[in-house]
Amino acid sequence: MSATKVLTVITQANGKGLEALYQKTDQFMARHAGIEVQIEQANGNFNVLNKIKSDEPADIIHLSESVFGPYLRQGLILDLMPYLQQDAEIFPEDFYGGALAGPTDDGKLAALSVDIAVPLIYYRKKAFAEAGIEEPHDGWTFEEFREIASRLTKDEQYGLRLGVDIEWFEPFVKRSGGAYFSPDGSTAQGYVDGEATAAALQMIVDWFRVERIVPMPGTTGEGDQAFTERFAMVYDFSWWIPFVTHQRKEEYGVVGLPRSADGQDTTMMYMGGYGISSRCEHPEMAWELLKELSVPKEGYPLSQLPAAKSTAGRLGTANHPFLKVALAELDKASRSAFYVSQKWNANRELVKQDLMSWIAEGAEIRASLRKWAEALG
Q: What are phi and psi of 164, to 5 degrees?
A: -90, 105
Mean pLDDT, each 10-residue run in order, the chain (377 residues): 79 94 95 93 85 87 92 96 97 97 95 97 97 95 97 95 94 95 90 97 97 86 74 97 94 96 91 96 96 95 96 94 97 90 81 92 95 91
Q: What is the pLDDT of residue 51?
A: 82
Instruction: Answer whether 16's CB lies under 8 Å from 293's CB.
Output: no
H or E element that contains 231? strand 231-237
Q: What is the pLDDT of residue 221?
A: 54
Cα separations (Å) of 196 from 83, 138, 145, 262, 376?
A: 39, 23, 19, 10, 18
Output the CA torsion 299→331→269→225 (10° steps): -70
How do beta strands 104-105 and 108-109 pair?
Answer: antiparallel
Residue 315 and residue 219: Cα distance in Å, rounded? 40
Q: What is the pLDDT of residue 254?
A: 98
Q: What is the pLDDT of residue 226?
A: 87
Instruction: Answer whether 207's CB lies under 8 Å from 149's CB.
Output: yes
Residue 316 and residue 264: Cα distance in Å, rounded? 29
The one-letter amino acid at 212: R
Q: Give the pTM.
A: 0.94
